[in-house]
Amino acid sequence: MEVVKTLVSLRRWRATTHRSVGLVPTMGFLHEGHLALVRKARAENDLVAVSIFVNPRQFGPDEDLARYPRDTEHDLALLRAESVDLVFIPTVDEMYPPGFSTSVDVGSLGERLEGLSRPGHFKGVATVVARLLNLTRPQRAYFGQKDAQQVIVVRRMVKDLALTVQIDAVPTVREPDGLALSSRNIFLSIEERQAASVLSRALFRAQESFEWGERDAQRIRQIVRDMLDLELLVRTDYVSVADAVTLDELEQIDRPALLSLAAWVGQTRLIDNLPLEA
């Protein structure tokens, strides 16, 4: 496994091969969710490249950039065990050299849901992903359904900029009690960790109600809100039932929809989602 830190060495690695490359962009502190992406990439490509970069441009000024968890040595050991070919770990200066001023803006898709609570977040995401795709020129790039809006935004960008990569979404990996794996789960106290399981329980309960025939989006949102409200350690940011393509909020669920939420558990903001599809 090759570990490179500069754009030049990443480009050089890419230039030496004509074989297919799968890219898995991450912010590190890897867990089984990330590894699910890596394994899919491993199965579908000749070579697998993983990037580890805590991208400052996707964090707001009051967000957790400074305390975002990092453990590069452990990440590298996990990736080595998955037979990854290349790991790209750039510094912030390497990714954004002095004078850097272009950004990729996906418009209203990036201003809903997470974008409302985190202005500029998806501009940061789209910009760094565009850069990673251009540097690595993979045939396929892998993203987690856990960050469903990110998948939608990246797919939109790839279409709009006529990039040739295929974007692959991988199902959310969960703990036994349903909590979606996230690098941020490390911040939860024992009590908060227990309380956090309500996020997925609420989503699954609402999905079940949809499967039993409920099509009123407001009633679905209310099922989730009511369950979250019962947990004293949980503060709801948003609960959304939106068109799975445009992310427009729905009144009636008459097309493929995304049920998603963001909530604070103590000082930690977590997101989760499930599809609503007949």
121: contact with ligand AMP by CB under 6 A:
no
109: contact with ligand AMP by CB under 6 A:
no
Nearer Cβ to ligand AMP (68/238): 68
User: Taking each helix axis from N to C terminus, what angle separates 7-15 and 121-136, rounded to the nearest 10 degrees?
Assistant: 40
Nearer Cβ to ligand AMP (27/224): 27
121 in active site: no
Q: Which position among 21, 37, 126, 141 is part of the footprint of ligand AMP (CB under 6 A)?
A: 37
CB 54, min distance to ligand AMP, A: 8
- Binding to ligand AMP (CB under 6 A) within 143-162 occurs at 143-144, 146-147
268: contact with ligand AMP by CB under 6 A:
no
Nearer Cβ to ligand AMP (140/217): 140
CB 160, min distance to ligand AMP, A: 20
Map the chain to HEC letters. CEEECCHHHHHHHHHCCCCCEEEEEECCCCCHHHHHHHHHHHHHCCEEEEEECCCHHHCCCCCCCCCCCCCHHHHHHHHHHCCCCEEECCCHHHHCCCCCCCCCCCHHHHCCCHHHHCCCHHHHHHHHHHHHHHHHCCCEEEEEHHHHHHHHHHHHHHHHCCCCCEEEEECCCECCCCCECCHHHHHCCHHHHHHHHHHHHHHHHHHHHHHCCCCEHHHHHHHHHHHHHCCCCEEEEEEEEEECCCCCECCECCCCEEEEEEEEECCEEEEEEEEECC
Q: Which position among 10, 13, 26, 262 is part of the footprint of ligand AMP (CB under 6 A)?
A: 26
CB 33, min distance to ligand AMP, A: 2
CB 148, min distance to ligand AMP, A: 8
87: contact with ligand AMP by CB under 6 A:
no
53: contact with ligand AMP by CB under 6 A:
no
Nearer Cβ to ligand AMP (152/257): 152
- Catalytic entry in 18, 31, 34, 121: 34
- Binding to ligand AMP (CB under 6 A) within 170-199 occurs at 170, 172-173, 180-183
Map 211-234 to HEC letters. HCCCCEHHHHHHHHHHHHHCCCCE
Distance, in Å, from the CA atom of 87 to the CA atom of 198, rounded to the nearest integer, reads 35
Nearer Cβ to ligand AMP (10/180): 180
- Contact positions vs ligand AMP (CB under 6 A): 26-27, 33-34, 36-37, 143-144, 146-147, 170, 172-173, 180-183
Tell me which residues are annotated as active site. Answer: 34
